[in-house]
Amino acid sequence: MKHLLSIHDLTDTDLEAVLATAEEMHDVQSRPVKKLPALRGRTVVNLFFEDSTRTRSSFELAAKWLSADAINVSAKGSSVSKGESMKDTLLTLDAMGVDAIVMRHAGSGAVAQAANWVRASMINAGDGTHEHPTQALLDAHAMLRHFRNHDLGTLEGKRVVIVGDLLHSRVVRSNVALLPRLGASVALVAPRTLLPAGVDTWGVEVTTELDDVLPEADVAMMLRVQRERMQGGFFPSEREYIAGYGLTGTRLASMRPTAVIAHPGPMNRGLEISSDAADSARAIVLDQVSAGVAVRMSVLYHLLAGNE
Ligand code: CP
């Protein structure tokens, strides 16, 4: 595996290996001394053209805990703000001899385009509304750990309900590509205005009625309402959005006793998710954050050291 641009890049063997290594990395993460020598001498650049807290910091920690050198380059504060193109920025970093570039960009397909220009391994850290493959991998890893730790089995036969701003979400596209491969069934829920064109061809259930599917969910994955990508009125008011699609205290009470709540973050508390839900014992939101470091350690390991 040279690049990770999409969940579709992973064969079943790759997928099994990435998730298995993430389990081993998770154990390293909880040790007092976290350093492994696996990527000593390698260099990873985080190149972010969009803001991030979780993805950028977890990739940086992942690289450092594997003993790689890691640097961060943001569009803000780099020569991009002086007008340098994405291609010249990539060629510049590549010419320094870096081994991997973790890139986030507002353009769908931008990271795949970048992979044609550079010698380094490219990792997609979110490209427009296309994909966020390491987010789906960490979501799966967090769910699998939760189910295993609670004697609830695996993802096989589990029902994952993904709710909210599907139109602007790259997380949903990666999860729809991944979760059925792990045996889960997926139901997508959104108001009609936030359903992507062609969603009916994605091969999963689609509905506008959250209350019809939430009581049967094993996982309710709430998606952020991406106000920064919305120019028009996608719903009449926040109050109406909450009434139809918010994970309120009442909806929380309608869920199965063993069901959990996931959110890729950042959360809009009081909009797609109430604080009752976000702070409840059922929420695995911070487990997802922890899983992010383990999964990104695994991905870096398999891309940069996997063949050795
Ligand atoms: N989930 C996610 O990608 O979060 P960040 O935008 O903080 O990286």
| DSSP secondary structure letters along 81-115 | GGT--HHHHHHHHHHTT-SEEEEEESSTTHHHHHH
- Ligand 1 contacts CB of residue 266 (under 6 A): yes
- Ligand 1 contacts CB of residue 43 (under 6 A): no
In ligand 1, the atom with minimum distance to the C-alpha of 56 is: 8
Identify the pLDDT of residue 46.
98
> Does the predicted model carry a pTM greater than 0.95?
yes
User: Three-state SS for 171?
Assistant: helix
Q: Which residues pair with 185 in a beta bridge?
A: 159
Contacts of 30 (CB under 8 A, 6+ apart): none
Identify the pLDDT of residue 236.
79
Identify the pLDDT of residue 96.
98
Whole-number Å distance, alpha carbon 145 to ligand 1 midpoint, is 21
Identify the pLDDT of residue 250.
97
Identify the pLDDT of residue 77.
86
Whole-number Å distance, alpha carbon 228 to ligand 1 midpoint, is 14
First to last CA, the chain: 12
Which among 54, 127, 130, 272 is the best mutation to test ligand 1's pocket, defined by most ligand atoms within 8 Å of the CB? 54
In ligand 1, the atom with minimum distance to the C-alpha of 125 is: 3
Whole-number Å distance, alpha carbon 61 to ligand 1 midpoint, is 15
In ligand 1, the atom with minimum distance to the C-alpha of 265 is: 1
Identify the pLDDT of residue 306.
65
- Ligand 1 contacts CB of residue 270 (under 6 A): no
Whole-number Å distance, alpha carbon 86 to ligand 1 midpoint, is 21
Ligand 1 atom 4: residue of nearest CA = 54
- Ligand 1 contacts CB of residue 53 (under 6 A): yes
- Ligand 1 contacts CB of residue 55 (under 6 A): yes
Spans of the chain, pLDDT less than 50: none
